[in-house]
Amino acid sequence: GRVKVQMTGASGHSIVLYRMENDDICTLSIGCLMTGRAYRAEAVVEDGAEALMIPRGAFDRLMDQSAGFRLGIMESYGRRLDDLMLLVEEVAFRRMDKRLEEWLLARGALGPVMITHQELAVELGTAREVVSRLLKELERRDMVRLSRGKIEVTGLLESPPPA
C-alpha cells in the first residue's frame, strides 16, 4: 500500500512530509518511540495498506538487543532525514512557481493529473489561493488546461522571457 504523512501548521495549511510504500518505516513513529513525544502529523492511507505497530517496550528491547534491527531503524531514519532536509530546502529557498512547474512536469507527462487545487497546495506546502493563482497564470500562457479536479499539461513549462 501507500501512506502519505502530512503535517498541519497553526495557520491551518498542510504539507506532505513524505510517503511510505511497502516495507517502509514511519520516521515520525520512530521519533515518537525514541522520545516518548507525539508529533503534529497524520498518516493518510492512499492505497490499501497494512501497518505493523510495535509497542514502545518491544521497540526499546529490540534496539538494545538486536544490532540488525537497530541498524535497519537508523538507516531508515537517516534516509528519511535526508528527504526531509531536501523538502525544507525546497520550501525555504525555491520559488513556488518553479516548484509547481517541476511538480506538474514530473506528473503530467503521462496524461492529466487528477488533483484539486487544495490537494496540490498540500503537496507543495502552500495555500490553495497561491496554487490557484499560479495555475491560472500557466493556463493564461497556454501551458496547462484546468478543469474541476484535473490539470492537463499542454505545453512545455518554462520561465517566461524577462520583462
Inside any domain, residue 53: yes
Same domain for 69 and 30? yes
What's residue 161's pLDDT?
46
Classify residue 107: in a domain, yes or no. Answer: yes
Distance CA 10, CA 33 (A): 24
Q: Cell triple for residue 64? A: 538494545
Phi, psi of 60 (to 5 degrees): -60, -45
pLDDT tens digit sequence for 112-158:
999 999 999 999 989 999 999 999 999 999 999 999 999 999 886 55
- Is 49 in contact with 1 (CB distance < 8 Å)? yes
Which pLDDT score, from 0 to 100, does residue 156 have?
64
Together in a domain, 42 and 89: yes
Q: Answer yes or no: do 70 and 126 share one domain.
A: no
Q: Which cell numbers hold the place of 71?
A: 541498524
Mean pLDDT rounded to a whole number for the chain: 90
pLDDT tops 60 at residue 74: yes
Pairing of strands 42-47, 2-8: antiparallel
* 93, 117, 132 - which closes a domain: 93
Containing structural domain, residue 56: 2-93
pLDDT for 60 equals 95
Position 161 in a domain = no
Residue 162 falls within a domain, yes or no?
no
Does residue 101 fall inside a structural domain?
yes
Within a domain: residue 159? no
Q: Within this chain, do residues 147 and 107 fall inside the same structural domain, yes or no? A: yes
Q: Say whether pLDDT at 163 is over 90.
A: no
* 73 and 7 both lie in a single domain: yes
Residue range 50-79: average pLDDT?
94
Are 73 and 63 in contact by the 8 Å Cβ rule? The answer is yes
Share of the chain above pLDDT 70, in %: 95
Task: Provide the grid cell at 99.
Answer: 516548484
Contact 118, 151 (CB under 8 A): no
The three-state (H, E, C) secondary structure of the chain, written as one string:
CEEEEEEECCCCCEEEEEEECCCCCCHHHHHHHHHCCCCCCEEEEEECCCCCCCCHHHHHHHHHHCHHHHHHHHHHHHHHHHHHHHHHHHHHHCCHHHHHHHHHHHHHCCCCEECCHHHHHHHHCCCHHHHHHHHHHHHHCCCEEEECCEEEECCCCCCCCCC
Whether 12 shows a pLDDT value over 90: the answer reads: no
My answer on whether 46 and 120 are in the same domain is no
Q: Looking at the structure, do residues 36 and 103 belong to the same domain, yes or no?
A: no
Residue that terminates a domain, selected from 75, 93, 111: 93
Into how many domains does the chain fold?
Answer: 2
Assigned domain for 138 exists: yes
The whole-number pLDDT of residue 158 equals 53
Same domain, 87 and 102: no
Pick the closest to residue 118 from 1, 3, 8, 2 (CA basis). 8
CATH number of the domain to which 137 belongs: 1.10.10.10
